[in-house]
Amino acid sequence: MTITPAIKKDYITKLAEQGKRVDGRSFDQYRPIEIETGIVKQAEGSARVKIGNTQLIVGIKMGVGEPFPDTPDCGVLSTAAEFVPLASPDFESGPPREDAIELARVVDRGVRESEVVDIKKLVMTPGEKVWLVFIDIHILDYDGNLFDAASLGALAALMTTKIPIFRLLGPGGGLEKSDLEAWYNTTKIQDIYDLYSTPGFEEFIAGNNPEMAKNVKPVALPMTEPPISCTAIKINDYVRFDPSLDEETIADVRLTVATDHKGDLRAMQKGLSGSFSREEIQKVINGALVNGQEIRKQLYAKIGK
């Protein structure tokens, strides 16, 4: 637990009465956001996101395996967050604490419920063989607003993921040419067909044509339009977006709103023990729509969409 001295709280609330924030931002304004993708080549997709001094890395790993018995016609999506002690003097090693689990679950819900990743298209043989997608959030520097940074990082990493077909083909990898054919038959994704019908594919599997991997288009994750998460907190009746760590520590209440490209709402999470009025919720939604559009533009520009 970070102890923000009473004097700091006083300072933050006094400034708020004049309509100001400690770092000079307006109440609706985000800190500078930086997105960088493809930073870990061992991962299928990866992204580094900075919001002000907050910094984290999201990595995507994939494998093949069995679906959950209750969803035999869906791929498996799993999200985990590590609050490693590198990122803050208050983080300790050990099993994930409840805040790490909340973060992972909020990001997971943002990805799953909004169907950003079309998990129905990650099925090769229903009930038997599907793709597994692991989203791992690794926090490097904690200066507030992990929710937005983690969701944005997950999106950037997923949107740049290349499905590791070549790595998993062949002995021990668990993937066969017949799986690719079955996968194409359920999804009709053209890239899959192009891949296994490329001349020389059989020789590649047999290990005689390693060059082929360089010449085919990688298969991307089947994605839909992503919703963008925006978080606001309230301190003494003043609502502000993208809280810094100091603001977050003394916040009464927090609300995360995810909005999509059409301006519809796709996910919400209220946190902390304070409360919002109906008007304040409207204010947060409106701010989330405006900031969400800006962040979406930046994300698309970065991943070349």
Rounded to the nearest 10 degrees, what angle do helices 146-159 and 278-303 cross at? 30
Residue 154 interacts with other proteins (CB under 8 A): yes or no: no
Binding to other proteins by residue 166, rule CB under 8 A? no
Is 153 a binding residue for other proteins by CB under 8 A? The answer is no
Q: Quick one: residue 145, left, alpha or beta (phi over 0 = left, psi -120 to 50 = alpha)?
A: left
Buried b (16+ CB within 10 A) or exposed e, 272-291: eeeebeeebbebbbebbbeb
User: Containing H/E element for 132?
Assistant: strand 129-141
118 binds other proteins (CB under 8 A): no
Q: Count Cβ atoms below 10 Å from residue 19 Cβ, excluding itself.
A: 9
Residue from 86, 213, 265, 301 binding other proteins (CB under 8 A): 86
In this complex, which beta carbon is closest to other proteins, that of residue 103 or of residue 255?
A: 103
CB 80 to other proteins: min, Å: 6
Q: Which is nearer to other proteins, 229 or 244 (CB)?
A: 244
Closest to other proteins by CB, 140 vs 281, is 140
Give one DSSP letter per residue of 84-105, joined into a string.
-TTS-TT--SSS--HHHHHHHH
Q: Any contact of residue 84 with other proteins (CB under 8 A)?
A: yes
126 binds other proteins per the rule CB under 8 A = no
Pick between residue 19 and residue 24 the one whose CB is nearest to other proteins. 24
How many Å apart are CA 122 and CA 164, to the nearest integer?
13
Closest approach of other proteins to the CB of residue 98, in Å: 16
**DSSP 8-state class, residue 173:** T
Q: How far apart are CA 118 and CA 48, in angstroms?
A: 23
Choosing from 42, 69, 273, 304, the residue that interacts with other proteins (CB under 8 A) is 42
Helices (H), 200-277: 201-206, 212-215, 245-249
Q: Is position 200 an interface residue for other proteins (rule: CB under 8 A)?
A: no
State how beta strands 129-141 and 76-82 pair: parallel
> Between residues 40 and 212, which has the closer beta carbon with respect to other proteins?
40
* Binding stretches for other proteins (CB under 8 A): 39-44, 46, 53, 55, 57, 59-61, 63, 80, 82, 84-89, 93, 95, 134, 136, 138, 140-143, 167, 207, 210
